[in-house]
Structure 1
Amino acid sequence: MVGTANSRATRTEGPTGVAQLREQVLHLLYRACTALDERRYRDWIELFAPDGRYVATSAENFENGWPLAVIDDNRSSMLDRAEMIEKYWTVEPARTRRMVGNVDIAVVSPERLNVRSAFVVYLTNPEGRVEIQATGSYRDELVHLDDWRFQRRTAVHDNDLLTHTVTYPL
């Protein structure tokens, strides 16, 4: 669903504009999932605005407004995390697959959107066993720069205990 607005950047006028906006947002969400699944962390970071922020928190903390998060990174700490993962982090090799759906888009202004979507992160270990690492919702604040970018991405995970390390973004 897309909220209504008159906008030159988002072009939400009429059915064609709404469809184009939805397609642009879905493209950003899918690119984010693919970059993380392919372990292209720096490409994922490029999907954020220069002053963007990534937060991963539990549903309980989010719903109660508690400022507790397992990850709370600005761009600099996202880059530090990427370097640590690429150079130093050693864990058993596993594959992840992120699925995103139930996308709801609200136009805040011509250059700003609020997007809510559901996610599932599957993990396949080296023996081929598949398990769910996390489920939850993304609460995204998007800004239009050269393209739509994450101003703030909050991953609200439903699991009280995540099955694997939270070194990696959800």
Structure 2
Amino acid sequence: MDPATQLRALPDDLALRIAVEDFYARYVEIADDPQRLEVWPDLFTEDGQYRVLPQENWQQGWPLALVRAESRGMLKDRVSAAQGINTYTPRVMRHLVSNIRCSGGSEGEIETKACFAVFETMIDEPSRVFATGLYRDRLVEETDGVLRLREHIVVLDNDLVPNSIVYPL
């Protein structure tokens, strides 16, 4: 039995979880690889939204975000900025995503929630925690059969923001 047939034979909730976990694995592979970073916006729908905000703003329902992009074009601008920073001070970024929860939402959307941690390593310094928090996302399967982010909300655990927040979280 081929893998696609095996996946279709799984219970719907398990198949959904596997698809979402695979999406996040692809997301961090691209976000952590400076040679593939220009592909990061393709993980979003054309009108995909990306927001980074402190936990208090999220809890209070305040719209103010530290980073806000409202289209794939704006995300491409963020990639250009991130590539510029790496030119001056080379670094390695490493994402960890865990405790993924997902459920079917309205209009074929998949609502997800996951914990994340991002570590940053400068060439001549020890690794440090760059950011931690929650992803609160909405994914959709587009006509090409690929899952993409319609909305990627990054809720930071604290208000202290690294200088190079330009990197994808």
Query: Structures share a fold, TM > 0.5?
Result: yes
1:42 aligns with 2:38: yes
- Unpaired stretches in structure 2, ≥5 consecutive residues: 1-6
2:4 — aligned with what? Answer: none
2:3 — aligned with what? Answer: none
CA distance in 2, matches of 1:16, 1:77: 38
1:127 aligns with 2:129: no
- Unpaired stretches in structure 1, ≥5 consecutive residues: 1-11
* More helix, by proportion: 2
Instruction: Please tell me whether the aligned partners of residues 8 and 15 of structure 2 are also in contact (alpha carbons under 8 angstroms).
Output: no
1:4 — aligned with what? Answer: none
Q: Give the number of aligned pairs.
A: 159
For 2:105, what is the secondary structure of its paired residue?
Answer: strand
TM-score (norm 2): 0.85
Q: Give deviations 1:34-66, integer Å, cap 9, x for gaps.
A: 111112222111111111111111111111111
2:80 — aligned with what? Answer: 83
Instruction: Please tell me whether the aligned partners of residues 133 and 164 of structure 1 are also in contact (alpha carbons under 8 angstroms).
Output: no
Following TM superposition, by how much is the alpha carbon of 1:69 offset from its aligned partner in structure 2, in angstroms?
0.9
Identify the match of residue 105 of structure 1 among 86, 102, 106.
102
1:19 — aligned with what? Answer: 14
Following TM superposition, by how much is the alpha carbon of 1:119 offset from its aligned partner in structure 2, in angstroms?
0.1
Q: Give deviations 1:17-43, integer Å, cap 9, x for gaps.
A: 322211111111111111111122221
Instruction: Please tell me whether the aligned partners of residues 102 and 110 of structure 2 are also in contact (alpha carbons under 8 angstroms).
Output: yes
For 1:46, what is the secondary structure of its paired residue?
Answer: helix
1:9 — aligned with what? Answer: none
RMSD: 2.1
Identify the match of residue 33 of structure 1 among 7, 28, 35.
28
CA distance in 1, matches of 2:37, 2:146: 19
1:144 — aligned with what? Answer: 141
Following TM superposition, by how much is the alpha carbon of 1:163 offset from its aligned partner in structure 2, in angstroms?
3.3
Following TM superposition, by how much is the alpha carbon of 1:103 offset from its aligned partner in structure 2, in angstroms?
0.6
For 1:95, what is the secondary structure of its paired residue?
Answer: strand
Q: Give deviations 1:61-83, integer Å, cap 9, x for gaps.
A: 11111111111002111112222
1:165 — aligned with what? Answer: 164
For 1:168, what is the secondary structure of its paired residue?
Answer: coil
Which region of structure 1 is more displaced relative to structure 2, 155-164 or 66-75? Answer: 155-164
**Identity among equivalent pairs (%):** 30
